């Protein structure tokens, strides 16, 4: 697997990581835990070194599975997790919080569940409007100085927030949705990341399955599948959004590859400091995704895909209204 470097602080990872949320939630019933432990270990054998989880996934159970799976392989992988949500005494999510005391408590819990002495990349999951970002960055800096965290990241943060945080503690990576299906980061944050030397880790780089070519205009989403709640996947929106997939599929057919591989290769071609984290829980799909690292798109092909994306207006918001409100654009 070809390696890439996130940020000027030099976190080296596989050019494609693995988004782990789906191994415990989000896309319908999950396989049993032993199967997912085996899958994660197999992913390491296939070349993945960056594994992305969060305390809120579950909550908590996702980190436990990742920790169990990767403990014997800890020296071969980089573990990324996230803080920033609040929970009640029963462990149910109740909102967001990045108060310093909550960050410290979250890190102690993540370290325990991940079975590690240090988190390689710690993200603020969502910007907390009630806590100055300087306080957040300062707290993470203290955790880095204490050896409990190696690198600081932000998720869904806007350019002003990124700059303010970076001035206190260098930011290694920003996590944000980015794909042929969602290109807002090109206007909102990519110039800032390039200027400051910060890597980008796109989540949902396949548009939550849209860009794989597996969905049709008749697709429906069952219980436990988060897409059932997302405006983009409502029937009329899905029918319109699949116009882009038809254009990506045409390129894939010409090259003898899959639409998902084309979509990931397009992302990798944008900048050498971009590391997508497509999620899957099937080894054959993992291998398909990893094949995108070996797919060379010419400048003309990449430009053609960009033009195809420009030609299709995405219908529907990314999230339901309450989740949409958590995105920082400042």
Please report the DSSP string for 101-169 in residue order. HHHHHHHHHHHHHHT-S-EEEEEESS--TTS-HHHHHHHHHHHHHTTSEEEEEEES--HHHHHHHHHHS
pLDDT tens for 271-322 read 999 999 999 999 999 999 999 999 999 999 999 999 999 999 989 888 888 8
For 173, the 3-state DSSP assignment is strand
**pLDDT number for residue 251:** 95
Q: How would you classify the pairing of strands 119-124 and 78-83?
A: parallel
pLDDT tens for 48-61 read 999 999 999 999 99
Give yes or no: 123 in active site. Answer: no
Q: Average of pLDDT values for 169-183?
A: 97
CB of 161 closer than 8 Å to CB of 173: no
Percentage of residues in the chain with pLDDT exceeding 90?
A: 89
Find how far residue 157's CA is from the centre of its chain. 13
Residue 276 has which token pair?
A: 């997508």
**pLDDT number for residue 27:** 82
Is the pLDDT assigned to residue 43 strictly greater than 90? yes
- Complete domains list, the chain, with CATH: 3-207+268-295 (3.20.20.100)
pLDDT tens for 219-267 read 999 888 899 999 999 999 999 999 999 999 999 999 999 999 999 999 9
User: Choosing from 57, 123, 178, 319, which is the catalytic residue?
Assistant: 57
* Mean pLDDT across the chain: 95
Query: For residues 99 and 30, which has the higher predicted lDDT (pLDDT)?
Result: 99
Q: CB neighbours of 68 closer than 8 A, spacing ≥ 6?
A: 33, 37, 115
Please give the Cα distance from 216 to 228 (Å, whole number).
Answer: 15
């Amino acid at each position: 697997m070809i390696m890439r470097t996130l940020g000027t602080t030099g976190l080296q990872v596989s050019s494609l990581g693995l988004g782990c949320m789906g191994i415990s939630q989000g896309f319908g019933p999950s396989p049993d835990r032993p199967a997912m432990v085996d899958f994660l270990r197999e992913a390491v054998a296939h070349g993945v070194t960056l594994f992305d989880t969060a305390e809120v996934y579950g909550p908590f159970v996702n980190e436990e599975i990742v920790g169990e799976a990767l403990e014997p392989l800890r020296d071969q992988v980089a573990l990324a997790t996230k803080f920033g949500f609040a929970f009640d005494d029963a462990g149910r999510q109740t909102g967001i919080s990045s108060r310093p005391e909550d960050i410290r408590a979250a890190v102690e819990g993540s370290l325990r569940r991940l079975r590690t002495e240090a988190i390689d990349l710690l993200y603020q999951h969502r910007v907390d409007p009630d806590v100055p970002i300087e306080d957040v960055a300062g707290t993470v800096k203290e955790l880095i100085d204490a050896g409990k965290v190696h690198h600081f990241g932000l998720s869904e943060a806007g350019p002003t927030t990124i700059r303010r945080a970076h001035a206190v503690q260098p930011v290694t990576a920003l996590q944000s949705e980015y794909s042929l299906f969602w290109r807002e980061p090109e206007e909102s944050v990519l110039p800032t990341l390039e200027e400051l030397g910060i890597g980008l880790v796109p989540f949902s780089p396949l548009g939550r399955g849209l860009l794989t070519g597996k969905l049709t205009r008749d697709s429906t989403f069952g219980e436990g599948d988060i897409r059932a709640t997302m405006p983009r996947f409502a029937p009329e929106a899905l029918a319109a959004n699949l116009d882009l997939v038809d254009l990506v599929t045409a390129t894939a057919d010409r090259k003898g590859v899959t639409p998902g591989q084309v979509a990931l290769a397009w992302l990798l071609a944008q900048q050498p400091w971009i590391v997508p984290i497509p999620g899957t829980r099937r080894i054959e799909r993992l291998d398909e995704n990893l094949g995108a690292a070996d797919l060379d798109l010419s400048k003309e092909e990449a430009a053609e895909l960009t033009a195809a994306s420009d030609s299709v207006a995405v219908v529907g918001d990314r999230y339901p209204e309450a989740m949409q409100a958590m995105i920082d654009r400042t």
